[in-house]
């Protein structure tokens, strides 16, 4: 067990929590709406209404009660990644990999206050666990972290290589460089992960229908392009052996509104292009572990579709060697300064992100 004062490199795996009760689901949805629509704090209470918790949300919460908490699952995954990264790049150690869920800004500040106040710390990396960048997910998480760092720290002297990345906690001798890994959908391990999953059940499907949450707002076009690019890479690994397409659905925290290229409509059109009695596998391409969407929202949709079956991602990503080694490789490349073209793009939601992160 690492002591806080021994850590030199700190890695945070960022993600949104999954509420355990209807009360916390309402709090969660109100907070997400506030962040997405940039609602002032004084008006936040107007968003927290019982209408946010519909039957879809209630079913998600009920089914979640029978499963291991997402916090426990990601914490275990973080420990496995930490062991692997510490092995392949020991020169950056001691390395501590910590899962960090977002429920509200107060809890985020407390976690970061407890974790970053160490004089031995010299590098901090934030890695949101959403491979395909969108402002309503990755963007919100990074903006909340950026706001914390802007208010808690001051900018230190910069170099041409690490502009705006050195942060100093005011009134202390604690300083560290900050960077992010926030666009990683093009890393080979994500393709390899789904290739392995689909190869195991190759005899069970005659076509593939990839699915992803229908995320609206800024970055929607780039989000959709990156999702489609992932589908293409997976099909290339499968030698384009079967017909395939991409559809979208409303996630657990979205209103269940009609979508032009939604799952039901796309499946109906897709079925017309296939011979009768063909088996179609539905692949949640943006998920690499179980979520409300994969074990509640999508199963409810797929149950109504004859000839379609859902490919479930693993409940525990720690059991996948490809995922653990893949994330370790992603982090190693980042530590060694190997640039990814996608990482140079700005991280915006509704407003410009504060410049507290390293550019790579």
CB-facing half-sphere around the CA of 64: CA atoms within 13 A:
26
What does the pLDDT read at residue 34? 77
What does the pLDDT read at residue 45? 66
pLDDT of 255-291, one tens digit each?
A: 888 888 889 888 888 888 888 778 999 999 999 999 9
Binned at pLDDT 50, 70 and 90, residue 352 comes out as very low
What does the pLDDT read at residue 342? 41
Which tokens sit at 207? Answer: 């076509």
Global confidence as pTM: 0.88
Under DSSP, the state recorded for 2 is -
Looking at every residue in the chain, the average pLDDT score rounds to: 86
Under DSSP, the state recorded for 314 is P
Phi and psi for 191 in degrees, rounded to 5?
-65, -45
Most confident of 29-38, 104-113, 135-144, 321-330: 321-330
What does the pLDDT read at residue 172? 85
What does the pLDDT read at residue 44? 65
Q: How many Å apart are CA 83 and CA 93, to the nearest integer?
A: 11
Instruction: Please report, for the chain, the start and end positions of each structural domain, with discontinuous segments joined by +.
Output: 4-184+323-344, 188-317
Element containing residue 187 per DSSP (H, E): none
Domain 4-184+323-344 identical in fold to domain 188-317: yes
What does the pLDDT read at residue 189? 95
What does the pLDDT read at residue 131? 95
Q: Any bridge partners for residue 360, and if so which? A: none
- CATH C-level class of 188-317: alpha beta
pLDDT of 285-326, one tens digit each?
A: 999 999 999 999 999 999 989 889 999 999 999 999 999 999
Binned at pLDDT 50, 70 and 90, residue 200 comes out as very high
What does the pLDDT read at residue 48? 62
- CATH C-level class of 4-184+323-344: alpha beta
Q: How far is CA 138 from CA 3, 184, 346, in A?
A: 29, 11, 12
For the cut 70, the answer to whether the pLDDT of residue 359 exceeds it is: no
pLDDT of 130-169, one tens digit each?
A: 999 998 899 999 999 999 998 888 887 765 555 448 888 8
What does the pLDDT read at residue 58? 92
For the cut 80, the answer to whether the pLDDT of residue 356 exceeds it is: no
β-pair type (166-169, 153-155): antiparallel
What does the pLDDT read at residue 223? 93
Proportion of the chain above pLDDT 90, given as a percent: 54
pLDDT of 209-229, one tens digit each?
A: 999 999 987 778 999 999 999
Binned at pLDDT 50, 70 and 90, residue 353 comes out as very low
Residue of 175, 110, 132, 137 whose CA lies nearest to 14: 137
Q: What's the N-to-C CA distance of the chain in angstroms? A: 30
Contact (Cβ atoms closer than 8 angstroms) between residue 164 and residue 155: yes
What does the pLDDT read at residue 161? 54
Contact (Cβ atoms closer than 8 angstroms) between residue 298 and residue 281: no
How many Cβ atoms sit within 10 Å of the Cβ of residue 278?
16
What does the pLDDT read at residue 344? 38
Question: Rounded mean pLDDT of 316-345?
Answer: 81
Element containing residue 216 per DSSP (H, E): none
Binned at pLDDT 50, 70 and 90, residue 360 comes out as very low
For the cut 90, the answer to whether the pLDDT of residue 90 exceeds it is: yes
Residue 180 burial (C-beta neighbours within 10 Å; 0-12, 13-18, 19+): buried
Q: How many Å apart are CA 106 and CA 315, to the nearest integer?
A: 29
Q: How far is CA 68 from CA 56, 59, 72, 99, 216, in A?
A: 20, 16, 7, 15, 30
Residue 7 burial (C-beta neighbours within 10 Å; 0-12, 13-18, 19+): buried
């Amino acid at each position: 067990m690492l002591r806080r004062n021994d850590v030199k490199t700190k890695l945070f795996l960022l993600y949104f929590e999954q509420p355990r009760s209807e009360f916390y689901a309402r709090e969660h949805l109100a907070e997400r709406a506030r962040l997405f629509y940039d609602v002032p704090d004084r008006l936040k209470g107007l968003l927290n209404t019982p209408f946010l918790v519909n039957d879809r949300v209630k079913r998600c919460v009920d089914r979640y009660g029978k499963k291991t908490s997402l916090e426990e699952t990601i914490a275990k995954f973080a420990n496995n990644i930490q062991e692997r990264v510490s092995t392949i790049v020991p020169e950056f150690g001691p390395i501590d990999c910590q899962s960090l869920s977002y429920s509200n800004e107060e809890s985020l500040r407390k976690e970061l206050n407890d974790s970053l106040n160490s004089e031995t710390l010299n590098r901090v990396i934030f890695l949101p666990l959403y491979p395909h960048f969108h402002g309503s997910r990755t963007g919100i998480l990074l903006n909340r972290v950026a706001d914390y760092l802007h208010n808690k720290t001051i900018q230190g002297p910069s170099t041409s290589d690490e502009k705006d990345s050195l942060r100093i906690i005011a009134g202390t001798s604690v300083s560290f460089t900050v960077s992010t890994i926030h666009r990683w959908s093009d890393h080979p391990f994500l393709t390899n992960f789904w290739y392995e999953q689909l190869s195991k059940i190759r005899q069970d499907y005659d076509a593939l229908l990839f699915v992803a949450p229908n995320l609206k707002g800024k970055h929607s076009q780039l989000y959709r392009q990156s999702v489609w690019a992932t589908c293409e890479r997976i099909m290339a690994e499968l030698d384009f052996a079967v017909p395939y397409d991409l559809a979208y659905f409303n996630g657990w925290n979205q209103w269940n509104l009609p979508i032009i290229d939604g799952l039901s409509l796309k499946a109906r059109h897709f079925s017309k292009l296939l011979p009768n009695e063909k088996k179609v596998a539905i692949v949640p391409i943006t998920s690499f572990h179980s979520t409300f969407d994969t074990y509640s929202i999508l199963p409810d949709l797929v149950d109504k579709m004859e000839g379609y079956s859902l490919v479930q991602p693993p409940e525990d990503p720690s059991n996948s060697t490809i995922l653990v080694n893949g994330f370790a490789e992603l982090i190693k490349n980042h530590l060694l300064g190997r640039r990814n073209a996608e990482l140079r793009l700005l991280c915006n939601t509704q407003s410009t992100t504060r410049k507290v992160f390293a550019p790579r």
